[in-house]
Chain A
Amino acid sequence: MENFTPFTSLAGGALIGLSAGLYIVLNGRIAGISGVIGGLINGTAKQKAERLAFIAGLVIGPVILALVSGYRPPITVDANLPVLVLAGLLVGYGTNLGSGCTSGHGICGLARFSPRSLAATLAFMGTGLLTTFVMRHLIGF
Chain B
Amino acid sequence: MRIFGALLCGSLFGAGLALSGMINPQKVLGFLDIAAIINNGWDPSLIFVMAGGLVVAMPFFFWAKSHDTALLGGSITLPTKRTIDRPLIIGSLIFGGGWGLAGLCPGPAISALSYMQAKPLLFVAAMLAGMALQRVFARS
Assess whether B96 is in contact with A124, with CB atoms less than 8 Å apart: yes
1/0 contact string of B40-78 vs chain A (CB within 8 Å): 111111101111111111111111110001111011111
Residues of B within 8 A of A137 (CB): 35
Which size class do B's interface residues fall under?
35 or more
CA distance A103 to B111 in the complex (A): 13
B49 to chain A, nearest CB (A): 4
Assess whether B45 is in contact with A96, with CB atoms less than 8 Å apart: no
B residues with CB within 8 A of A = 2-27, 29-30, 32-35, 40-46, 48-65, 69-72, 74-79, 81-84, 87-107, 109-115, 117, 119-120, 122-135, 138
A residues with CB within 8 A of B = 1-6, 8-31, 33-34, 37-38, 41, 46, 49-51, 53-66, 69, 71-79, 81, 83-103, 105-112, 114-116, 119-121, 123-133, 135-137
27 contacts between A and B (CB under 8 A): A4-B43, A4-B44, A10-B51, A13-B51, A16-B16, A26-B72, A28-B77, A33-B105, A33-B106, A56-B7, A59-B14, A59-B114, A61-B10, A61-B14, A75-B112, A86-B126, A87-B101, A87-B104, A88-B109, A88-B124, A92-B133, A93-B131, A96-B135, A98-B89, A99-B81, A132-B29, A133-B34
